[in-house]
Amino acid sequence: MTVITHVQRKSRLAQMVDKPGGISVGVALAQAKANLDGLQDQAIALIAQNIAALLAPPTPGLPEKMRLEMAYASSSQIIDAASPFAMDDLCIAARGLCDLLDAAPRDGGFDWRIPTVHAQAMKLLLALPGDATEARQAIVDNLREVLRRKLGAGQAG
Amino acid sequence: MTTLGDSLRESAVFNLGGAVTMIVDDSPFSLTLTANALAGFGIRPAFTVGSGGDAKRILQEKPVDLLVVDTDMPDIDGFELVRWLRRSGLNPNAFSPVIMTASHIRRGRLNQARDCGANFLVTKPFSAAMLLERILWVARDNRPFLEVGDYFGPDRRFRDEQWDGPERRADRMGATKASNTVEIA
């Protein structure tokens, strides 16, 4: 097997990063936080919208593969929206659901109670106050157990 | 949630205000989130693009210093886009730093994630601090680019340690003799 090594020229990014001027990490993070905080309500609305989509009855005649893809997309969008706002338990729940949907047979036989359970759990996580640590942990633990039972121990981290 | 890494001191100063940056994500809200985080870092994204096809068209015409690319997109997904970019021969874009972001990676795509040629893949949830840490990391990433079989991208080995044992990776790739190395400046 031939390995061709292209010796890296300094990228433009590398050339500019240490140039005089710029901003400190502290200021950059404070600015990013301020920018993102302004989007938090929109993120929560998007999460609620995708949870509702997961709980909605299926369109009659929708092929199983399509239904799985739509549920995967909803779950994935919940992670996207929750990610910057430290809603880690919501992300864990949605990621578990993505794992289960990804592993589902495309030709039928998926247990559709699983997305419903996950969506109800996520609805609860979204509604619980931030300091309800024990209740949040219990929900996440239960979902991990579902994942462990369906996919095996390796996936339930 | 990942917290501020050791490499990010609050007082450390960086300057990426002139970076021509492209964000590629099919989700408009994710595009907005990433663009707002980057704006906080002093990076005004020059291109916010909703599809791999649009990204390809721009990359063929404009030099881009940094790409932030979502993995899961319809039509041309992020892995395919980065793989195309690395093999495109476009100068300097083929060598531009690429950070990929993923809400979830499908099991069938794990090999593509490893082999597409991105500098870094960040899985969500991640904080603004982690994104900044990765951007500064790729800005200073001086790993050489390698062409090995079907792979073209930064050296996937992060540690530079001598290995005295047999070269089993080459065996796995079907080689019968030790690797030949060609260096291109």
pLDDT in tens, B98-143: 999 999 999 888 888 889 999 999 999 889 999 999 999 999 988 8
Query: What pLDDT digit, counting tens, does each position of A116-146 carry?
Result: 999 999 999 999 998 999 999 999 999 999 9
Dihedral sign, Cα of residue A149, residue A150, residue A153, residue A157: negative
Contacts of B15 in chain A (CB under 8 A): 16-23
* B100 neighbors B113 (Cβ within 8 angstroms): yes
pLDDT greater than 70 at residue B3: no
Give the closest of A13, A77, A81 to B65, CB-based. A13
Residues of A in Cβ contact (< 8 Å) with B62: none
Predicted local confidence at residue B2, as pLDDT:
37
User: Average per-residue pLDDT in chain A?
Assistant: 93
For residues B52, B58, B64, B67, the Cα torsion angle rounded to the nearest 10 degrees is -10
More confident residue, B102 or B165: B102
Write down the domain spans for chain B: 21-148
Class of domain B21-148 (CATH, top level): alpha beta
Which of A10, A12, A155 to probe by mutation at the B interface, max B CB count within 10 Å?
A12
Residue B97: asked if its preceding bond is cis (omega within 30°), the reply is: no
Per-residue confidence (pLDDT) for residue A24, from 0 to 100? 96
Q: Residue A8 falls within a domain, yes or no? A: no
Question: At B160, is the pLDDT very low, low, confident or very high (cuts 50, 70, 90)?
Answer: low
* A-contacting residues in B 25-64 (Cβ below 8 Å): 27, 29-30, 32-33, 36-42, 63
pLDDT band at B175 (very low <50, low <70, confident <90, very high): very low
Closest CA to B48 of B79, B76, B27, B17: B27
pLDDT of residue B39: 97
* pLDDT in the model for residue B169: 58
Q: Do A23 and B42 touch (CB under 8 A)?
A: yes
Domain with A78 in it: 36-152
Least confident of A123-127, B35-39, B84-88, B113-117: B113-117
**Residue B155: closest CA among chain A residues belongs to which residue?**
A5
| Min Cα separation B82/chain A (Å) | 17
For residue B33, give every residue at least 6 positions away whose Cβ sits within 8 Å of its Cβ, in sequence order, or none.
A36, A39, A43, A80, A81, A83, A84
* Per-residue model confidence (pLDDT) at position B16: 96
Look at residue B166 in the predicted model and tell me its pLDDT: 72
Residue A28: inside a domain: no
Task: Tell me whether residues A39 and B33 touch, CB distance under 8 A.
Answer: yes
What pLDDT, on a 0 to 100 scale, did the predictor assign at position B173? Answer: 47
**Comparing B3 with B22, which gets the higher pLDDT?**
B22
Q: Please give the pLDDT value at position B150.
A: 86
pLDDT at B185: 47
Strand boundaries in B60-179, DSSP class E? 66-70, 98-102, 120-123, 145-148, 151-154
CATH code assigned at A118: 1.20.120
- Averaged confidence pLDDT in chain B: 86
Q: Classify residue A15: in a domain, yes or no.
A: no
Predicted confidence (pLDDT) per residue in A60-102, tens digit: 999 999 999 999 999 999 999 999 999 999 999 999 999 999 9
- Look at residue B159 in the predicted model and tell me its pLDDT: 65
Residue A80 near residue B126, CB atoms below 8 Å: no
Of A17, A23, A88, the CB nearest to B125: A88
Q: Are A13 and B65 in contact (CB under 8 A)?
A: yes
Model's pTM, two decimal places?
A: 0.86
Q: Which of B133, B52, B49, B27 is nearest to A81 (CA)?
A: B27
Q: What is the pLDDT of residue A116?
A: 97
CB spacing of B16 vs A17 below 8 angstroms: yes
First to last CA, chain A: 37
